[in-house]
Amino acid sequence: MSPFSRRDLLCSGFALSASSIMPRVSWARGADLPAGSPEAISAAAPLAVAPREQLLFDFGWKFTFGNGNDPSKDLGFGYGQSDFAKTGDFKFAKAGFDDSAWRSLNLPHDWAVELPFVWDEEQKSHGYKPLGRRYPDTSVGWYRREFDIAASDQGRRIWIEFDGAFRDVFVFVNGCYIGRNDNGYAPFSFDLSDFLHYGGKNYIVARVDAAFGDGWFYEGAGIYRHVWLNTMDPLHLGKWESFVRTTISGDSAALALNTIVQNQGAQPENASVSWKILDATGNTVATADAPAQQVAADGSAAFSAGARLAHPALWSPDEPNLYTAIVTVSTNGTARDAERVTFGVREARFDAQKGFFLNGESLKIQGTCNHQDHAGVGAALPDRLQAFRVGVLQQMGCNAVRTSHNMPTPEWVDACDRMGMMMMCETRQMSSNPSGMAQLEVMVKRYRNSPSIIIWSIGNEEFLLQTPMAEQGAKIAAAMVRKCHELDPTRVVSAAVNGNNKQGVSDALDIIGFNYNLQFPDAYHQAHPTRALFGSETSSAIGTRGEYTTDPLRNIVSAYDVPVQWGESAESWWTFYGTRQWEAGGFAWTGFDYRGEPTPYGWPSISSQFGIVDTCGFPKDDFFYYKAWWGRDPVLHLFPHWNFEGQEGDEISVWVYSNLDEVELLVNGKSVGRQKVPHLGHVEWKVRYEPGAMEAHGYRNGKLALTDKRETTGPAATIRLTADRTEINADGEDVAVLTVEALDKDGRLVPTADNLIHFKVSGEGALIGVGNGNPNCQESDKKPMRSLFNGLAQVILQSNKTSGTIQITAQSHGLAPAQLGITTKQVELRPSV
């Protein structure tokens, strides 16, 4: 066994490069453990590595609101002009400060989702939340916690690392100002080594100001991503500097292995670097060594080597095979630092005439754009929820996502790597200024090992840089593309352009992305036959789940594939991109509904209606259009529901999405007709409503293949609770996602039910969020109650660290209640402070 502690062994794999974030993700273990995950590899082949520690720093924080205008309500911060006059003078970050009235919480945390809604049209795009300089009482938050540092850590380097916080953050430790960050999406870190009390108590405080935004959509507020405490030897691998580049040749793959070693010590060191490559089962499949060289004091040195994999298991959406590189830096035969870098072997290529190819095979990009928030939790998603969202999209045949419009959280990238979802990875700020280039560099370095990423995106719809400032736009884009190529020459660089791509930022791009505007791609392709094209943002079809009339008085939109003025229906955009060989595919706006940017209505709407699924992940009817034409299985989806009380005799549009040959519709047992299904289309009938049942029969090769039925139900009589998983980890992080339904006396889902459901939770966990997918619902995301919206609601339960059971009871006046138990199983916890 290694001389290092078990904690050291588990921590050794923290990420310095794109997918080496993987070891940090709180995957459900056991039956849910992904093949090739770091936990599975560690279990199969434990490795002795250097005593680097990465400790989760999420638990045990205190929180209170500050004030953006009044220093007396902001811990006295900024009361005069001498706050920063003397180092160590900030009393709120010292022992003896009274935080007993502060709220206790764990990270990630988004306080914006907890705030009430306000009817303020200036806040419309951000979801009508009271944030900004006009809302000083709710735009500043303070986080504080106490922690211990062992005396034995003296002489090591200790860093605090934030994966992301929104937005302007001041960090203080032991009374000392440490640093500042003013970007809501890029990670940031500070070396605390000189400011800590070794062998004693320490205090950290973060003041987070969300008054300014980065985007025009809901962005949250607070420390909404993970925080880590990293401890390492003064001689260590550089941050996000280890990367593996793969080149497939025949039945083998060459690996170019690179890293940078940094020496924060006072003396030069003669260091060597070795690599060990593991497959998904933890077996060593290749090794490599770089010659020793001197690393100057307070300096760095680059190391490289090569290796070859025989018969590599390639990464693809169908088979997301992953490898792990153990990178170790040593002096005189002693390991000083090590990390795990997860990577995949695959070849992605864009062809101007034939579209996109993965591993030599033609593959259409069947993508969706997505923001990062979810019902109930806002921007502070537990890790497991990232995988849940990927799974929802995969169920409809989606094989790619675009991170609109910002650097994604590591756990979203990790889920895509593990589950086989390709990615267009987008930076927030399109600029060659120092801030913009720094954000871009961090994004590319952090994620360049991730096999899911096939495109770097340098921006979105920068219309000023396309037309009135085309000259500046061309220079900015060229600088950003050069930086991407410098850091990662293996991937193409693009941008999401809402225009004709004839000037401005487009000149520098490797491949051309069109947002909407189907009138442009054909002419562009004809004029530029050597440039590959794709739909960087398409569709913008809108709809309200379960609604079949458009009613501006209720802020609802019919679910019959309605496009906005500037966009296209699901059917029209995919007919365009899916039938042109030279088009690589595209990304529909959006996969999930998202908070903010309510379209096509304003107040009281508080979220968009662009999603193919709602904010909870409940499918809208268009979901089944994509499932039919993006998926591989036979599909037959009949809509609408058949509960139209009071509309007897009215004409109802009945649609069927299917990839079968023909569909016959029967209403109350009588055939209304049989139609051939057009390629990439749908079939529809006009039917006079009468209660009872309608049924679709789908035929392939003349034989009945599938049926789908809608019945007129009775009123809601009982509640049903189901969970995506009935066993989760007792780690204080894992979650179960529950669906709440109203059933009639015959056990049928009531598609119009809107009952208010109350929840009672006990045992080894807590309710952390509720939702229902209603874009107009302004009920609390955190209270233990929620109205059903068209028969459905969602509850998110999170475990604590004690094994046992989480019990939930759902009750509503006049309905039979429901109960459900979620087992929380004991697991080895992620090392944490």
Q: How far apart are CA 389 and CA 397, in angstroms?
A: 13
9 forms bridges with which residues in the sheet? none
Q: How far apart are CA 468 and CA 73, in angstroms?
A: 45
Please choose, from the candidates 192, 344, 177, the residue with its C-alpha nearest in 3D space to the C-alpha of residue 253: 344
CA 81 to chain centre: 41
Q: Lay out the sheet containing 157-162: strands in order across.
A: 53-56, 227-232, 157-162, 188-191
Residue 195's identity, in one-letter code, is F
Is the Cβ–Cβ distance between 404 and 427 less than 8 Å?
no
Please choose, from the candidates 680, 618, 638, 679, the residue with its C-alpha nearest in 3D space to the C-alpha of residue 548: 638
Structure tokens at 477: 């884009």
Q: How far apart are CA 392 and CA 617, in angstroms?
A: 7
Going 402 to 403 to 405 to 406, the CA torsion angle's sign is negative
Going 739 to 740 to 744 to 746, the CA torsion angle's sign is positive
Q: How far apart are CA 697 and CA 366, in angstroms?
A: 28
Q: How far apart are CA 570 and CA 425, in angstroms?
A: 23
Q: How far apart are CA 161 and CA 144, in angstroms?
A: 15
CA 509 to chain centre: 25
Residues 6 or more apart whose CB falls under 8 angstroms from that of 297 comprise: 263, 265, 266, 267, 268
Q: Which of 39, 269, 339, 537 is catalytic?
A: 537
Question: Is 537 annotated as catalytic?
Answer: yes
Q: How far apart are CA 833 and CA 831, in angstroms?
A: 7
Phi-psi region for residue 490, left (φ > 0), alpha (ψ -120 to 50) or beta?
alpha
Q: Which of 441, 461, 664, 764 is catalytic?
A: 461
Cα dist from 543 to 552, 630, 650, whole Å? 12, 20, 22
Torsion angles phi and psi, residue 729, rounded to 5: -80, 140
Query: How many Cβ atoms are within 10 Å of 434's Cβ, its own excluded?
Result: 8
Question: Is 219 annotated as catalytic?
Answer: no
Please choose, from the candidates 155, 283, 299, the residue with its C-alpha nearest in 3D space to the C-alpha of residue 231: 155
Q: How far apart are CA 236 and CA 230, in angstroms?
A: 12
Is the Cβ–Cβ distance between 562 and 541 less than 8 Å?
yes
Tell me which residue has tokens 């299985």.
633
CA angle 336, 342, 348 (to 5 degrees): 140
The catalytic residue positions are 461, 537
